[in-house]
Amino acid sequence: MAALGRKTWVIPEGWIPPQGASAQEDPTLVPHETACLLNTGPRDAQVRITIYFADREPAGPYTLTVPARRTRHLRFDLLREPEPVPLGTDFSSVIEADEPIVVQHTRLDSRRDSLALLSTMAWPAD
Amino acid sequence: MAALGRKTWVIPEGWIPPQGASAQEDPTLVPHETACLLNTGPRDAQVRITIYFADREPAGPYTLTVPARRTRHLRFDLLREPEPVPLGTDFSSVIEADEPIVVQHTRLDSRRDSLALLSTMAWPAD
Amino acid sequence: MAALGRKTWVIPEGWIPPQGASAQEDPTLVPHETACLLNTGPRDAQVRITIYFADREPAGPYTLTVPARRTRHLRFDLLREPEPVPLGTDFSSVIEADEPIVVQHTRLDSRRDSLALLSTMAWPAD
Amino acid sequence: MAALGRKTWVIPEGWIPPQGASAQEDPTLVPHETACLLNTGPRDAQVRITIYFADREPAGPYTLTVPARRTRHLRFDLLREPEPVPLGTDFSSVIEADEPIVVQHTRLDSRRDSLALLSTMAWPAD
């Protein structure tokens, strides 16, 4: 299949819920903020993420690869280099790839022993 | 009415929640991952779905028909041929039709006796 | 302000939750499926809604007015003419206006004494 | 980075949940309706928000600044001038900036000791 999508995606909303009580019981219930990146094309996509904040200069770039014909569900709380994304802090992200990809944003909030989900397609800026 | 929409839609997020405890009580509360496909046009639409994974080659095509002037709310966990979509596994999907359609992605997560919903329009790639 | 938006919007997902136990206590917690229609322009917008189903011909048109410079949060379960929208049934909707409007789709599911929300911008088809 | 986005964004859905019981315990659990505004560009963005209602003339403009290379997660319940946005009331918003920005809409509903989230990209009208 051809490489579908765009090369620059924006997610204005970002906030990683503080760790919920359920974390120990079931890893799929740990609160998380995710960007799902799909590369339908025949070449690996090199991806650069920049994180924007309310009161300081942006962080990044965070770099990763989405291999050809693969999806990658990226958890923002697992980003480590150049610095972790702080918990409980407002942020936004810009995702740039050297091949077309499609990006969707999802949050699972599992504080309080209930579940809440949000999701939206990211905004293609190119 | 004319056939509204596009012929290629992308959903980067995909994850079928493991079966919840509520499954036996009320079928409308079974956790599910859904693509809602609307064909407003005068001709049946033949649809091909390809499923992408994090660590293996894509699966599919899964084929189905959305009749003229009908909607089809497709549950990914009910796809059987050529192979079931695994539960609790990250995936993405590309939906291709031979007539214009409009596609929306919805998940119901009903684990833990609470309810969580997400939904977004799929991304039109053509 | 100018009239912002488009004249044809599509919402593939539609399903009105059966009445929840909370309905008697607080009307804002009654489960509902909503289309929010905003008319920023200087002229009233005449709106026609067509409802599509999985296994029968479409219903409608349902007609309403969104006055100039007003928003209207339309609950599908309150549509009565030409026929009510059945509960617990898959449907889709097409919303056509004679002036530009912007449409967003929201569901509140409050079964089980928990709350779940979904929302997405409708898809502009013109 | 260049200034990404558009200058006019529309959010048809708007409804601020009445204050939940959890408000006193944890400020991050206070119900809220939010617009996340990202300015990736090198110049501060001056933003004007107009609020539309079902049964009265629009309110506003509400004015704010999103500084260069910053995100601002704006809570509608904290808008004060020219007038507060009423709780439990249907509204819509139009967000206009003098520099390109990207806008995402999110609601947290935490009534009933459960959590519900919705989010969608706002609709770019220019």
Longest dimension (CA), chain B: 43
- Listed by number, the residues of chain D in 63-122 with a beta carbon closer than 8 Å to a beta carbon of chain B are 114, 116-117, 120
Cβ of C38 within 8 Å of Cβ of D92? The answer is: yes
Contact A5, B8 (CB under 8 A): no
Model confidence at D22: pLDDT above 70: no
Tens-level pLDDT at each residue, chain C (126 residues)? 899 999 999 999 999 987 754 444 677 788 889 999 999 999 999 999 999 999 999 999 999 999 999 999 999 999 999 999 999 999 999 999 999 999 999 999 887 677 899 999 999 999
The pLDDT score that the predictor gives to residue C21 is: 47
The pLDDT score that the predictor gives to residue B24 is: 46
Disruptive mutation site among A10, A85, A96 for chain D (greatest number of D CBs within 10 Å): A10
Backbone Cα Rg of chain B: 15
Model confidence at B85: pLDDT above 90: yes
The structure tokens listed for B113 are 């006796």
Q: How far apart are CA C7 and CA B109, in angstroms?
A: 34
More confident residue, A19 or C102: C102
The pLDDT score that the predictor gives to residue C29 is: 80
DSSP class per residue in C36-104: EEEE-SSS-EEEEEEEEESSS--EEEEEEEE-TTEEEEEEGGG--SS-PPPTT--EEEEEEEEEEEEEE
Q: Which chains, if any, share at least 3 CB pairs under 8 A with chain A?
A: B, C, D
According to DSSP, residue B122 is labeled P
By Cβ distance, the residue of B10, B57, B120 closest to A38 is B10
Q: Where are the beta strands (DSSP E) in D1-126?
A: 6-11, 32-39, 45-53, 59-66, 70-75, 91-109, 116-121, 123-124
Residues of D in contact with A88 (CB under 8 A): 28
Q: How far apart are CA A50 and CA C49, in angstroms?
A: 42
Mean pLDDT of the D94-112 span: 93
Distance between B12 CA and the closest CA of chain C, angstroms? 16
Cβ of D116 within 8 Å of Cβ of B116? The answer is: yes
Model confidence at A73: pLDDT above 80: yes
DSSP class per residue in chain A: ----SEEEEEE----PPPPPGGGGT-GGGS-EEEEEEEE-SSS-EEEEEEEEESSS--EEEEEEEE-TTEEEEEEGGG--SS-PPPTT--EEEEEEEEEEEEEEEEEEE-GGG--EEEEEEPEE--
ipTM of predicted complex: 0.94
Give the confidence band of B21 by pLDDT, cuts at 50, 70, 90.
Answer: very low
Residues of A in contact with C114 (CB under 8 A): 114
The structure tokens listed for C68 are 């100039």
Q: How far apart are CA A93 and CA A99, in angstroms?
A: 18
**Which residues on adjacent β-strands are paired with residue D38?**
D71, D102
DSSP class per residue in D6-37: EEEEEE----PPPPPGGGGT-GGGS-EEEEEE
Longest dimension (CA), chain A: 44
Which amino acid makes up residue B50?
A: T
Any alpha helices (H) in D27-120, and if so which ranges? none
By Cβ distance, the residue of D37, D38, D106 closest to A118 is D106
The pLDDT score that the predictor gives to residue A24 is: 46
Integer CA distances (angstroms), A5 to A9, A23, A59, A121, D42, in order: 10, 34, 25, 12, 27
Model confidence at A120: pLDDT above 90: yes
Disruptive mutation site among B29, B108, B121 for chain C (greatest number of C CBs within 10 Å): B121
Highest mean pLDDT among A8-22, B8-22, B106-120, D64-78 belongs to: D64-78
The pLDDT score that the predictor gives to residue A28 is: 79
The pLDDT score that the predictor gives to residue C25 is: 64
Model confidence at A19: pLDDT above 80: no
Residues of A in contact with B8 (CB under 8 A): 4
Give the chain D residue nearest A16 (alpha carbons): D28
Tell me which H or E stretch contains B81: none
What is the distance of C-alpha C13 from the center of its chain?
11
According to DSSP, residue C112 is labeled G
CB atoms within 10 A of CB B88: 10
Q: pTM here?
A: 0.95
Model confidence at A32: pLDDT above 90: no
By Cβ distance, the residue of D114, D117, D120 closest to B114 is D114
Q: Which of C101, C122, A77, A4 shows the shortest CA–CA distance to B10? A: A4
By Cβ distance, the residue of A5, A72, A108 closest to B125 is A5
